[in-house]
Amino acid sequence: MPIIPAELVHSGGMPAAAELEEKLLTGQTLLAESREHLIEVVDVLKSYGEVLDAYSTNLIFQAEHQFLVPVPLFKYLDGEKSPAKIWRHLNHDRINFEYAEYCMKAMLWHGTGGLDAYLDSAAFAESCAVIIRRKTRRDPLLAMLHPLFSGFLIEMIRTAATTHALGQFWRVMSDLFLDLARAEADGSVASIEAVVEFIKDGLVAAAANPITYGVAVAGEHLWVLPPEAGLTFLVDVAVPYVEAVFLRGLPFLGTVSFNAQAQQISPDQAKFAYGALFADPLPTMGAGIPPSLLMQDMFRHLPQRLDGLYRKRTRGEGDVRVKICMSFQKSMFCVTNAAIRGTFPHPLNSPEPAAHEANRAYAAAWAARLAAARTDCLDPLP
């Protein structure tokens, strides 16, 4: 019987929820310490940071310059409609912004956290009414559509607001991941523990950053997400992003049956487990999870050190997108680890019994969800 390399199936064991809970409570890292893990995580986040820079720029461009455009044909061009760029776009010599839109749609559909609460508020509905009145005065197509489909423009504004908020979130994360790569290069980050702490500190530092969004309509600035809404980076966007993209995701075509009689998809969205932490590293080249279009984007920006590491393993570059996906999952466990550390109800070293119990309940809830994820990637390769 042929020997199948371990990394093509499972890299390690699948720790029980109790083990993950103890790691979280004692301040240990979910990802095991190893030199290869450090290279994988730092370098894949470096390439991811460069890709997120492009994703963020495009999402903000769409929200600000393609606002209430029913058929945005040029939304991926960032305003540059040169023949050369259009040709590269048609030949797929470009960043795949479809994955960025997948993440936005996942956040919009799952609708958790303060951003979604504001999008359901009376204040938001009033802002939409003002914007639609101004917009339909000068746009005959929208003026015709709005009476026929009264919720259509409101939903487009909700989508634009989520798009801009995600662009702001990724702007912070792009800078954070590129700063991490520089810190590792100068020797100030030399372990997985240091990686988790670096990301946690970055998330905490940006936690209170305001999330706002306004548009220009007929020469007038109108707020969609005004400062008065009090939306902030961590609670209102980062945590819903983790929930929607890391954990819940959307059922991916070809992995489960969409037939209602088959009952393979839970009717309860809160029980979805199709996110990036649960994905099998399959190179489907689709926009959703598994995120192989993202893997392609990261491959275009792959650091030489990580490329050299991949070439030494199994099929070299023959399965490079699978390897990138596995490294990406390791890095996302580090980001999740950092987010959990930064949002514990109380300091882990608090002597108060009530604080300890609250922290344990928080860690147990996270551990129960993570135990079903692809935790086999947490151990170092043999």
State the number of CA atoms in the 13 A half-sphere of 89 facing the CB: 15
Give, for all 382 residues of the chain, the pLDDT tens digit.
333 344 444 455 688 899 999 999 999 999 999 999 999 999 999 999 999 999 999 999 999 999 999 889 889 999 898 999 989 988 888 898 999 999 999 999 999 889 999 999 999 999 999 999 999 998 999 999 999 998 999 999 999 999 999 999 999 999 999 999 999 999 999 999 999 999 999 999 999 999 999 999 988 999 999 999 999 999 999 999 999 999 999 887 777 888 888 888 888 998 888 888 988 777 666 656 667 789 889 999 999 999 999 888 777 676 888 889 889 999 999 999 999 999 999 999 998 999 999 999 999 999 999 999 989 888 876 6
pTM for this model (two decimals): 0.91
User: What stretches of 297-357 adopt beta strand conformation (E)?
Assistant: none
The sign of the dihedral angle between the CA atoms of 21, 24, 29, 30 is positive
The secondary structure of residue 2, as a DSSP letter, is P
**CA-based nearest residue to 57, from 203, 164, 142, 141:** 164
Task: Let me know how long the chain is.
Answer: 382
What are the sequence ranges of the domains in the chain? 31-355
Tokens read off for 300: 């275009």
- Which amino acid makes up residue 46? K
**CA-based nearest residue to 15, from 378, 336, 330:** 378
The sign of the dihedral angle between the CA atoms of 257, 262, 267, 271 is negative
Cβ atoms < 10 Å from Cβ of 243: 20
**CA-based nearest residue to 280, from 184, 377, 371:** 377
